[in-house]
Structure 1
Amino acid sequence: MAGRWANFGFYGAQGVPGWVALGREMDRNVTGIKSPVESTRGLAARLRYLTRSPAGLEAMRRAGITAPQRRIDAWVARTVRPNKANLQRIDSAYWDLRRRNLGVEWQRRLADRGTRIEIHPVDQRDVTPGRERNIPVRRITVRGHRIWDDIIQAWIDEDGQMLDIVWDEIITDIGSDYDSYSYVSSVGFGI
């Protein structure tokens, strides 16, 4: 992380590291089944999504589901209901697969055309009088296969260290005041 904010918040500024805000914005854009996994409809929809491809079965394995295929088939057929622990694993597997599938789609779209990112600076409402800084909202366009591949892969892997590195790459394009955006209130963009 860029470095002038060694004592971030000392004078009352509030915010989060830019890479955290970037990850949160990407998470906010993940949509999916609204019905809870405990409901018949929510469970059936998740199981349909997970069992229609090898990637879904792999997501179930990553989530810790060790049930044999005949048991999974019984869940899909609604003749057997998963226990509470497996319901949570099914939900985790579903959201993991959604993230991965959306990541592939986003990589394809964003790398070619790029996207405009709006960076909102730290909240200075509670900053000690006289210590405020004039930090404007910034809008930058992020383009390129490599940077979007890195952003999305780090987000899918939940790799905060890599997201931090990529965030530094993004803000260095701002110019000499880039370090003012190491911490931010929020990040917005349209995926």
Structure 2
Amino acid sequence: MPTPNAAALDFLLTRRSCPAKTLTTPVPDRLELEPILTAAARTPDHGKLEPWRFLVLERPALERIAALIPAHGARLGIAPDKIEKAIAQYGDAHLVVAVVAAPVPSEKIPAIEQTLSAGAVCLSLLNAALASGWGANWLTGWASHDPQFAAEAFGIAADESIAGLIHIGTARATPPDRPRPDLGAKVTWVSA
């Protein structure tokens, strides 16, 4: 019979992301962020390729990135309200960890498994931040998916992409819960 970790299961059953726009200072310093990053790095990774990396974006970097948004939005023909929202996503943030999907050439491990590993890192990072008592939220957005913006803003290579932007800070309020999936509509039991 397995030995349950009731505290961990309770955390996973009750965890809630905090809207990024409600996060404020203080944010974790480097010493406080290290165990969060360490926990995130303990993620499923077929082949032990580590096809991801972290960029810790502090306030000055976020302000620099926010200033790049208008030109790239105009180039892409993005609506003004979506440009303003993207500016605020970076400009109002105090600490963001960008998870960069960094595929590794491999004859054995398909690219999709490497991408899924980067996504798993995002969720592990989000949960580790929440479990550490911080507020956190996983975002992306049109700007982070644009290769030209991503190269200029984050300095990532042409074969890399942004898997997630994990905003971390102090939550101003307890986030409301939201409706959760109906397992009856999502689970199929296969017995034979």
With the length of structure 1 as denominator, give the TM-score of the two structures. 0.25
Q: Name whichever structure is richer in strand by fraction.
A: 2
Q: Name whichever structure is richer in helix by fraction.
A: 1
